[in-house]
Amino acid sequence: MNDAERLCHDPPMRWIRGTAQYEEDAQGAQMNAPKITFFMLVTNRDALIADYAVKSYKKVHDEFKDELPFVLYIYCNCLKEDIKQKYMPKWAQYDYVQLFDNYEKTQRMNLRAGEGITSPEGVGRVRDGWCENYDELWTSELRKFQTDYVATVDADFEILSPYFIGEMMDALESDPQLIGVSSDYSAGASQCYDSYSGKVLSLAERWNTWFCIYKKEAFNCKTSHFYYYEEKANGESLVFDSAAYFQHRLISDFGYRLSVVAPTCRNNFIHYGAFSKNRSVTEKNICLYRQAAILRQNGLKIPLKDTSVAQLFNKFVRRGADLFILTYFNEAERSRFDFSKD
């Protein structure tokens, strides 16, 4: 049995590297026990960008390994065999990674992209792809982890510098009422066009899920992470994107609050966006796309005393990178559902 087959079929272990004797054999296991679990879902289409994301957690490990021991729990969501062979043995080499493959679990399920699924609250939506949906898994899996903190992290979210995580953890540990911190926040908006449904909606606020750390007490809230909507007094529908209603109930029912990292931390990370719907970025051009996307967001680091000159130069750099991506890549495909098989 090769490494990929072993990783796919051995029962998943609680601690890092999938080693059954880890907890028994490790000296000072309690001292080194993970403080936070980063929960990452990986699908066939976003595995190639996830490879960069997984590697980027080494920055966190190297910077904070003593004060912030963690597990990056990678939930391999209906991956094809060739993708497992390519990536899973590689990811398993990182000390902070724990892998789970849902192959056996999903053999008992008849998952079909585009089929209707219903939340525990009774609200229907469609299944995004030929795999388990993220809001299903956030609802069922996050509460199982025993670490003090649990985070949802996207496979297309790359850490460029780890310091924003230190800021997030400092905020969480210093404020008892702060239940979660996200890398990004979307304010509620009325008459907002939704590219997936093709409808104009009123959206509730959301602390975005692509990198959102919660205290484990958040999961005392039994509300699901599913999409949700409610009728307003004027007859309009208020729509809560995935996890937004869960967050709303944390605030309204438990008196907690959520926060977002400072704008000055924005260049510490990049969210490529909806890569589970990617079709045009491939193994051949992923390096080029990634570099262009980082340039478009952050520009170049220019050691000039006159920051106005650097800012002006970077304005052209970002515009050029954006034009390059628009010309050679089809990011618009990720703003709509694609129910075709991988």
List all residues 6 or more positions away from 92 whose beta carbon is below 8 Å from its beta carbon. 3, 7, 17, 18, 99
Contact 211, 271 (CB under 8 A): yes
Q: Which of 34, 27, 19 is nearest to 72 (CA)?
A: 34
pLDDT band at 141, cuts 50/70/90? very high
Which pLDDT does position 190 carry in this prediction? 66
Q: Rounded mean pLDDT of 113-131?
A: 92
Give the number of residues written for the chain.
342
Domains, the chain, with CATH or none: 3-162 (3.90.550), 181-260 (no CATH), 279-335 (no CATH)
Which pLDDT does position 18 carry in this prediction? 34
Which pLDDT does position 188 carry in this prediction? 85
- Confidence check: pLDDT of 6 > 50: no
- Higher pLDDT: 307 or 252? It is 252
Q: Could you report the per-residue pLDDT of 57-76, keeping only the tens digit for each?
A: 999 999 998 899 999 999 99
Tokens of residue 119, six digits: 């939340």
- Confidence check: pLDDT of 217 > 90: yes
Q: Looking at 117-131, 132-146, 215-229, which range is the least confident one?
A: 117-131
Instruction: Provide the whole-model pTM.
Output: 0.86
Q: Could you report the per-residue pLDDT of 249-270, keeping only the tens digit for each?
A: 999 999 999 999 999 999 999 9
Residue that has been written with the tokens 């050029």 in this structure? 320
Q: Which of 204, 202, 157, 148 is nearest to 180 (CA)?
A: 148
Residue that has been written with the tokens 């724990």 in this structure? 98
Sign of CA dihedral 45, 47, 48, 53: positive
